[in-house]
Amino acid sequence: MTKITFNSYKEAIQNHYDIVKNSDLTSVLLTPSPAQLRNYCAMLVDKGLTATDEEIFKAFFETKKDEKLKKSIELCNTDKFKTIISFLKDKRDSEIALRIEMASIMVDFLPRPYANFLNSDLRSINNGEKNQIIKIEDENYAVKENKNEHDFTATQVGKHERIKKNVARGFIGIIGTVSIGLATKTFIAPEPQCMQWQKNHYDIVDCNKNQHSLLQQNDIIPFDEHQIKLVKIQVSDTTTFFKMGKPLYWYCKVNGKPEFFNTHGVHPETGKALKPVSTYIIEKYVK
């Protein structure tokens, strides 16, 4: 049975980035800088985010209670984007789930977030990406050929066709090699995965990571498909708490005050079950 891992998700995002960066009219994705990505995120907010994407943005930019999302973007340290740029360009890996989710939003990779990706067919996604790469290569080649078609002599055309065939064979060989390597790495020997709560979200971490560091206050636990989606959020009197009469947020009291989360589950630090938000809790602690 095909095993989809967090590494599969990261590889799919990087493959998608390699495709869309060349079609981005703003050129931000082609030559990204931290400041450009910050402004790009503000632009995405203006265009409109899904509820899930918005919660990820709020967690990443550490949006405070009563603070507008765009304001927290404007005030953020642009260094936060350096690891995202390195990840997209495949220069440095990242195990911080929140940064990976931010990357998926910025390149508009689907299906996202990781929980949705787990329920998808990885082989279909990879095949789709490869077919699109081949299509783009063919289109680029056709443009160059049409541009210079009147300059070719009969000899040059023959030489051109031989080169084209050799390039095609090489490209197919590379795709085959990469496919075999990816299948071996991802499907035959999946890596064990764990996660750890970091302030307001979970990060994917090495299961053998030292848990006794002073900087690591929370336990490393086995990966959980639902719990990984949990994000602690800041709410205000302008927050929409219900949709069609159903609660959109969950809470758990810590030291007498409620802490709010984007989905059901257990509190990452106390282990207590989260409860759906109620009108009573909102009126007493929020408004």
Domain end: 63, 88, 118, which one?
Answer: 118
pLDDT tens sequence across 231-264? 998 888 888 899 888 888 989 999 999 999 988 8
- Is the Cβ–Cβ distance between 247 and 277 less than 8 Å? yes
Q: How many domains does the chain have?
A: 2
pLDDT tens sequence across 141-191? 444 444 444 443 444 444 445 544 454 455 444 444 444 444 444 433 345
Place of tokens 């051109």: 160
- Is 61 inside a domain boundary? yes
- Is 20 inside a domain boundary? yes
- pTM, whole model, 2 decimals? 0.49
Supply the range of the domain harboring residue 22: 6-118
**Domain co-membership, 109 together with 200:** no
- Is 85 inside a domain boundary? yes
- Is 188 inside a domain boundary? no
As a whole number of angstroms, the distance between CA 155 and CA 111 comes to 48
- Is 128 inside a domain boundary? no
- Is 165 inside a domain boundary? no
Domain end: 98, 118, 138, which one?
Answer: 118
pLDDT tens sequence across 106-117? 999 988 888 888
- Is the Cβ–Cβ distance between 14 and 103 less than 8 Å? no
- Cα-based torsion angle of the residue sequence 7, 88, 134, 116 in order, rounded to the nearest 10 degrees: 50
Domain end: 96, 118, 140, which one?
Answer: 118
Which two structure tokens, joined as six digits, stand for 216? 């690591």
- Is 180 inside a domain boundary? no
- Is 75 inside a domain boundary? yes
Which two structure tokens, joined as six digits, stand for 257? 């005050």
Give me the pLDDT at residue 121, please: 55
Please give the average per-residue pLDDT across 32-48, as a whole number: 92
More confident residue, 3 or 54: 54
Cis, bond preceding 190 (omega within 30 deg of 0):
no
What percent of the chain lies above the pLDDT cut of 90? Answer: 25
- Cα-based torsion angle of the residue sequence 161, 162, 163, 164 in order, rounded to the nearest 10 degrees: 50
